[in-house]
Amino acid sequence: MSPKTLFDKIWDSHVVRSIEDGPDVLYIDRHYIHEVTSPQAFNGLKERGIPVFRPDKTIATADHNIPTKDQHLQIRDELSRNQVERLSENCKKYGIELYGLNDPRNGIVHVIGPELGFTLPGMTIVCGDSHTSTHGAFGTIAFGIGTSEVEMVLATQCILQPKPKKMKITLEGKLHKGITSKDIIMYIISEISASGATGYFVEYCGSAIRSLSMEGRMTICNMSIEMGARGGLIAPDEITFSYLKKLPSLKGISNFNNALDEWKKLQSDPEAIYDKELTFNAESIKPMITYGTNPGMGMAIDDSIPMSDVKDNKASSSFIKSLDYMGFKPGMKLLGHPVDYVFIGSCTNGRIEDFRAFAEVIKGRKKADSVTALIVPGSKKVEEQMASEGLTEVYKNAGFEVRQPGCSSCLAMNEDKIPQGKYAVSTSNRNFEGRQGPGARTLLASPLTAAAAAITGRITDPREFIKE
């Protein structure tokens, strides 16, 4: 048998049928849904008069448009309230498990899936959300889908999907102090551009990837979509297995050791062929920040904004438009630039490790008066853990208020909007125009860089705050 990549092994074992010259019919093990991209799919089922085919394989949460304050009160915005209510009605009607608002297990879909033991190695996982790629950290094929595809999965537990090409990204070497998984993925995206992996599914390999915790790996896989990739995955190893072993329960697993034997097989064969292979050196990575309006427009924090996006040539109109929006000029340095808002949270950096990193910088210091900070845990569990580890207290003493979980300012569907023209250092995943509110200017960065900005009120190299 010819050698196979891990991606091929998982994909091929989930093909119910291959259509000649067409997409594959792919079986889906886990389907996550939320309030924003599911209502039209349920409408479709209703119009056809059909049930959800396998309701036990779909799990729902409310996260995108919910408030992060006073969650016990009725949602003020009528349209958001209606969407959240529709989700509850649909879940009830079709027999789907809902971890909704005020449920102690509620949170961002890509944070609760792993922490509740729903995301398991070797699975196919989809959700009407592009950051579904997060779950690839567990050695799964996980990717975002549109609402028509949500309807397909609800109706048949399958999806029609052309098989993507395969890319291997290897990161070798040792990371410097103060460099996080967020810097790694922002570095890779800045090297290959926001569309550099379109059409591919990425496998991340190498010693620097292996050294990361599950939280760190989730941050890497999460942002695969920001370089255009369909998804990204990391083969499971002892770090994965020990994370899973510590969870209170694993859905559908009755005997851990039997499952473990299967999971250990989930590796690419040594001779497996990828359509493209890229190698990077972990030692070249510095704290990263974005200066433009797509995640490919990133640089080391102590660098200057490039003069052009076209090598040895005049900048494109898209590049100029992007810098104009940000209020920046080519060649400018960003260190020392004033910051108005800081946001830590989202499915990219809303896990306990991220809040620990942020706390490491702010402990014993005070938030700059000029900065408004949005501190938003990714889930109820993260919120609880912050309190029990004493982090909530550290945040409070430094002048920060911890909010309730949700997607919040990452996409600003709720009230957590950054005002027109203001600069926000955000640990989220997208710096698109208006992403955090109309006219908002987003600078993507790691939790450490966000914390340094929150303390100084300026773009600051976080290494100044990290003890050697």
Q: Which amino acid is at 54?
A: R
Please return the burial class of 426, using the count of CB atoms within 10 Å of its CB with bins 0-12, 13-18 and 19+: buried
DSSP state of 304: B
- Output 57 or 458, the one with its CB closest to other proteins: 57
Query: Facing residues of 343 across strands?
Result: 374, 426
Block residue for tokens 């975002």: 144
Q: Do 138 and 129 touch, CB atoms closer than 8 A?
A: no
Kindly state the tokens that stand for 161.
């999907």
- Output 344 or 410, the one with its CB closest to other proteins: 410
* Total count of residues recorded for the chain: 468
Residues that bind other proteins (CB under 8 A): 16-17, 19, 21-23, 25, 27, 36-37, 39-40, 43-44, 48, 50, 53, 64-65, 77, 79-80, 82-83, 86, 128-130, 132, 144-149, 151-152, 155-158, 160-162, 164, 194-195, 198-199, 225, 228, 230, 293-294, 296, 316-318, 321, 411-413, 420, 430, 432-435, 438-439
Question: Smallest gap, in angstroms, from Cβ of residue 40 to other proteins?
Answer: 5
Q: Do 75 and 346 touch, CB atoms closer than 8 A?
A: no
- Output 98 or 175, the one with its CB closest to other proteins: 98
Question: Smallest gap, in angstroms, from Cβ of residue 456 to other proteins?
Answer: 29
Query: Facing residues of 152 across strands?
Result: none
Please return the burial class of 97, using the count of CB atoms within 10 Å of its CB with bins 0-12, 13-18 and 19+: middle
Question: Smallest gap, in angstroms, from Cβ of residue 92 to other proteins?
Answer: 16
DSSP state of 55: G
Q: Is the dihedral of CA 413, 445, 381, 108 positive or negative?
A: positive
Please return the burial class of 127, using the count of CB atoms within 10 Å of its CB with bins 0-12, 13-18 and 19+: buried
- Output 23 or 390, the one with its CB closest to other proteins: 23
- Output 227 or 398, the one with its CB closest to other proteins: 227
- Output 41 or 289, the one with its CB closest to other proteins: 41
- Output 7 or 243, the one with its CB closest to other proteins: 7
